[in-house]
Chain A
Amino acid sequence: MEDLRRLIYVPILHAQDDAKHKASSLPKNQKIAKELSAVDEMWAGIAAKIEGLNLPWKQTRIYQDGAPVCGNELTLAKRLAESGSPNFSFILDLINKGATLEGTEDMDLLIQEYDLLNKLLMKSSGTNQKAKNAEYHTKSRELLALRDQFILNRITGTLEKDELPIVFMGVMHRLDKMLEKDFLVSYVIYRLPFRSIGTIYNA
Chain B
Amino acid sequence: MRRKSSLLTASPILFSPIYLNTENVSTGKLLALYRFANLFFPKMGSNLVNTLLDMEKHSERLTANSSPEDRRKLIREMKGLSMKMQCSINDEEENMMDISVNIVPSEVLERVQQGRNDLIEYQKLSKDFDELISQLITKEIMRRFTAKVTNYFKGFWKSQQVPSFITQLLDMGWIDRNGQLLKGASIDELLTGKYHKQFEQLMPEELLQEGMQIRETIKTCFEISQEDADSLIWDAKKRHALLEITIREANKP
Contact = CB atoms under 8 A, between A and B. Distances in A.
Given A45-B209, A117-B236, 18 more contacts: A23-B231, A42-B220, A45-B212, A72-B249, A72-B252, A76-B245, A107-B247, A117-B243, A129-B229, A130-B119, A130-B120, A130-B229, A133-B229, A189-B213, A194-B225, A195-B225, A197-B49, A197-B126
B130 A117 contact: no
Interface stretch (A92-100, A108-116, A151-159): A108-116
Interface string A177-203: 000000000000110101111101101
Contact of A14 (B130, B235, B247): B235
A32 to B, nearest CB: 13
Given A194-B130, A201-B45, A14 B221 contact: no
Contact of B250 (A19, A107, A117): A107
Majority secondary structure of chain B interface residues (helix, strand, loop or mixed) = helix
A190 B233 CA distance: 27
B243 A189 contact: no
Contacts of B129: 197
Interface string B21-54: 0000000000000100000000001100110010
B167 interface: no
A66 B231 contact: no
A63 to B, nearest CB: 15
Most chain B beta-carbon contacts within 10 A, residue among A19, A38, A83, A200: A200
Contacts of B246: 66-68, 76, 80, 110
Interface of B: 34, 45-46, 49-50, 53, 119-120, 123, 126, 129-130, 133-134, 137, 141, 209, 212-214, 216-221, 223-225, 227-247, 249-252
Contacts of A18: 234-235, 238
Main secondary structure of the interface of A (DSSP, over half): helix
Contacts of B45: 201
Contacts of B228: 23
Interface string A63-90: 0001110101001100110010100000
A40 to B, nearest CB: 10
B236 A171 contact: no
A196 B243 contact: no
B214 A190 contact: yes
14 contacts: A22-B227, A48-B209, A67-B246, A75-B252, A76-B245, A80-B246, A107-B247, A111-B247, A114-B244, A129-B229, A192-B221, A195-B225, A197-B49, A197-B133
A41 B216 contact: yes
Given A14-B238, A38-B219, A45-B216, A66 B250 contact: no
Nearest to B128: A197
Contacts of A130: 119-120, 229
A79 to B, nearest CB: 5
Contacts of A195: 130, 221, 224-225
Contacts of A19: 220, 223
B31 to A, nearest CB: 8
Nearest to B52: A197
A120 interface: yes
A180 to B, nearest CB: 16
A46 B53 CA distance: 36
A143 interface: no
Contacts of A113: 239, 243
B59 to A, nearest CB: 14
B221 A194 contact: yes
A171 B243 contact: no
Contact of A79 (B213, B225, B245): B245
Contact of B217 (A83, A114, A134, A192): A192
B233 to A, nearest CB: 7
